[in-house]
Structure 1
Amino acid sequence: MSTALDRQMPPVKHAPVNGIDMAYYEVGPREGVPIVFCHGFPELAFSWRHQLKACEAAGRWAIAPDQRGYGRTSRPEAVTDYDMEHLTGDLVGLLDHLGVEQAVFVGHDWGGIVVWQLPLMHPDRVAGIVGLNTPFMRRAPLDPIEGMRKVFGEDMYIVWFQKPGIADAALAADVDKTMRFFMRKPAAIAQAAAAPPAGGATFAFGEALKAWDKADTANQLLSPEELAAFVETFEATGFTGGINWYRNFTRNWERSADLPTRIDGVPCLMIMAEKDAVLSPAMAEGMEEVISDLEKALIKDSGHWTQQEKPDEVNRLILDWMDRRFPK
């Protein structure tokens, strides 16, 4: 039976990559520098459906994988199998499978954290980087989980995610509610990210989800068919794979002490979203100091889900940059 996902995406392909089976979607002619689109949480390759269509129309080779722990890709048991070494290694393995030396990597949300690490960990495989909402962040002076706990409290969602099984069960209890809660327009997400009136943690998405009335249909971002693609998939997989990425913040920090602190000689584009409550444009300030070849662009009125909220602007910015920096 055709699923909502299959009706809206190119045919799924599979690759044995870095010890897992990776599902990916591919469009365009296999020529030139490919673009690899890397999704965040709680998302899928499906989040890039608009970009895949635009790349295909422009004659650009583009690939969007379901990353480790998500969708139709393997979900290993061990938490440490989701550290940065594995996440970047998966993308390098995908290039190996495709017989490609280098690609332009585009990353949103967690996918952005991963792609910004690629020039530091696998510089010879990177032709260019595009950060969508997610800036290049310098290594913190202290364990990031400890820092978030001190600043935002125990209920801040990334700190909450550290507790085994708790968030996993809460998000999976009603996947339709969870996806509709997260996939909303900027005002709703900003409200959910704020500290509650009675005080408490900022970004306490677990508490906000519990309190949110599922009957509230205002600010919904997705069509019923688009929502169904996410809901059907996460009902089948649960959320543990994606949450395990967060459970490696401390491990990644510990293991990154000797990595380079600059990105030199790699064309980079930073696309910011004006109304992203989680990854604000202010977080991208100072990137020029540590990236030698950087362009920046701001998309007005977009919240966190920029490639789905403002697909035409995202497509225009990426394809224009590709045409200038990697002409066909």
Structure 2
Amino acid sequence: MTEIAHRFVESTSGLRMHVAEAGSGPLVLLLHGFPECWYSWRHQLVALAEAGYHAVAPDQRGYARTGGPADPAQYTMHHLVGDVVGLIDALGEEQAVVAGHDWGAPVAWAAAQFRPERVRGVIGMSVPHRPRSSRPPVQAMREAFGDGFYMVYFQQPGVPEAEFDQDRSAMFRRMAATEPGEPSGLPVVPDGGGFLDASREPKELPDWLTEEDIATYVREYETAGFTGPLNWYRNLDRNWELTAAWHRAPVTPPALFIAGDRDPVVVGGARRAVDRLADFVPNLRDTVWLAGCGHWTQQERPGEVNEAVIGFLRGL
């Protein structure tokens, strides 16, 4: 069976990045989301390697074995895209296909938008590309959903990470095992409570997740913790300011979008962003909906995701 190897790579952005990799051939970067790490791509690393590709899943800035700077201002989208381009450089390539899930998807879309000459193709999972909004996002979310909306709650320095550190195993269990398509949709923190109060401890894990998977995530977060990952959310308004030059700029490389039809990120009114994706991603090759699938796309449905990704890669 194909082995997954681990090493540290000095990105030309200046960040020393931990990567998991397998195979050889054209480069495919796999960018994880929150609260994840390279491990969320364990099924794709092997499948892509066996299909003839060099699959590389980094721990992104602030996460797991990579870690990151203490200054929250060093977690902007410019930094994150710089890490991606710097990793392509460090791996000795001119171009890569960049795939991202959850928070990794906006980074993948932005890399394709900012530096299209370095991105041979882009794959977004769960989070579609959204054009820059007309006003700063945090206040807009506060007005629409209240102070308890999880992205607003995450703006508080030290508060959510202190909550998550109390029981990391419970945190990963609750995040990953939330039933897809629940009426509550995206998390809203109850008055006087914490983020985890917006979910419940599962009676049993879903069939795609094991206790060993949970233990692996806990181990991977043991050193770096949650402050770096949460700093991504704390730059939402700063990203809005810094991306003014790309307002309504298209994402031009060939693109694929994959999502579960029970993912709260894209159900209800949010589905419009997917329906209009080709307006801003003119070379969108396909949109793949996974029936009955929730948010953790590539972990919940590895076989279908691998088939869609490899089909897209072979068509480039």
* SS class of match (1:216): coil
Number of residue pairs the alignment of both structures matches: 308
* 2:85 alignment partner, one of 86, 92, 98: 92
Query: CA offset at residue 62 of structure 1?
Result: 0.9
Please tell me whether residue 204 in structure 1 is matched to residue 196 in structure 2: no
Show CA shifts across 1:237-262 (max 9, x none): 21111000000000000111111523
2-structure distance, mates of 1:218, 1:184: 6
- Whether the 8 Å contact between 2:177 and 2:202 is mirrored in structure 1 is no
2-structure distance, mates of 1:215, 1:186: 9
Structure 2 residue identity aligned to 1:11: A
Residues 264 and 48 (structure 1), Cα distance of their counterparts in 2 relative to 1, 3 Å cut: closer
1-structure distance, mates of 2:117, 2:214: 38
* SS class of match (2:104): helix
* SS class of match (1:272): strand
Partner of 1:113: 106
Partner of 2:240: 253
* 2:281 alignment partner, one of 267, 291, 294: 291
* 1:217 alignment partner, one of 176, 196, 204: 204
Partner of 1:229: 216
1-structure distance, mates of 2:93, 2:20: 16
* 1:22 alignment partner, one of 13, 17, 20: 17
Given the two structures, how large is their TM-score scaled by the length of structure 1?
A: 0.88
Partner of 1:78: 71
- Whether the 8 Å contact between 1:162 and 1:246 is mirrored in structure 2 is yes
Fraction of identical pairs, as percent? 36
Partner of 2:301: 310
Structure 1 residue identity aligned to 2:17: M
CA-atom RMSD, angstroms? 2.1
Query: CA offset at residue 266 of structure 1?
Result: 1.2
Unaligned 5+ segments in structure 2 are none
Residues 238 and 192 (structure 1), Cα distance of their counterparts in 2 relative to 1, 3 Å cut: farther
- Whether the 8 Å contact between 1:71 and 1:237 is mirrored in structure 2 is yes
Query: CA offset at residue 190 of structure 1?
Result: 2.5
Q: How does 1:27-176 map to 2 (within 5 A)?
A: 27-29=22-24, 31=25, 33-176=26-169
Show CA shifts across 1:52-71 (max 9, x none): 01112212111100001111
2-structure distance, mates of 1:134, 1:213: 24
* SS class of match (1:46): helix
Unaligned 5+ segments in structure 1 are 1-7, 195-201
1-structure distance, mates of 2:265, 2:61: 23
Partner of 1:193: 185
Residues 16 and 259 (structure 1), Cα distance of their counterparts in 2 relative to 1, 3 Å cut: same
Query: CA offset at residue 203 of structure 1?
Result: 3.1
Please tell me whether residue 268 in structure 1 is matched to residue 258 in structure 2: no
Query: CA offset at residue 211 of structure 1?
Result: 6.5
1-structure distance, mates of 2:163, 2:251: 42
Show CA shifts across 1:53-105 (max 9, x none): 11122121111000011111032100011101110000111011111011010
Q: How does 1:4-23 map to 2 (within 5 A)?
A: 10-17=4-11, 18-23=13-18
2-structure distance, mates of 1:274, 1:120: 26
Query: CA offset at residue 185 of structure 1?
Result: 5.0
Query: CA offset at residue 182 of structure 1?
Result: 0.3
Given the two structures, how large is their TM-score scaled by the length of structure 2?
A: 0.91
1-structure distance, mates of 2:212, 2:204: 15
* SS class of match (1:316): helix
